Amino acid sequence: MIWIIYLFLGIGTAWQILGTLALHRFPDVYTRLHGTTLCTTFGSIFLYLGIVLYGINEGWLSLSIHTFIVMLMILITNPTGAHAIARAAHRSGVMPKKAVVDKLQEAGHDI
């Protein structure tokens, strides 16, 4: 059981590091937002699953339940926050660095 916990913690840490690299390497707000949100969401899931399994293994059911609730909140709020930031960037007129077809702008609609 302890090896599964270590595996989850290692995978979560690796995803968090990838998210940090995405923040520094990607060229514009949209690709940075995509990379960091995806990586931190997956990284958090695996880290929290490791903590939940550790709590179950040690008999700390309260820790496992609270950590699972926090994991669910992260799953809801992280993508929602990223969508709000992307929407605000689009409304502010921030364009991606690469050539992209913006069908909303072509149609004259706002997000």
Task: Output the six-digit token pair for 84.
Answer: 């709000």
Look at residue 95 in the predicted model and tell me its pLDDT.
81
Does an H or E element contain 36, and which? helix 29-58
Look at residue 2 in the predicted model and tell me its pLDDT.
92
Contact 32, 26 (CB under 8 A): yes
pTM to 2 decimal places: 0.78
Look at residue 27 in the predicted model and tell me its pLDDT.
87
Q: Is the Cα torsion angle 17, 20, 25, 30 positive or negative in sign?
A: positive
If pLDDT is split at 50, 70 and 90, which confidence band does 111 have?
A: low
pLDDT digits (tens, 9 = 90+) for 33-89: 999 999 999 999 999 999 999 999 998 999 999 999 999 999 999 999 999 998 898
Is 99's pLDDT higher than 80?
Answer: no
Look at residue 50 in the predicted model and tell me its pLDDT.
95
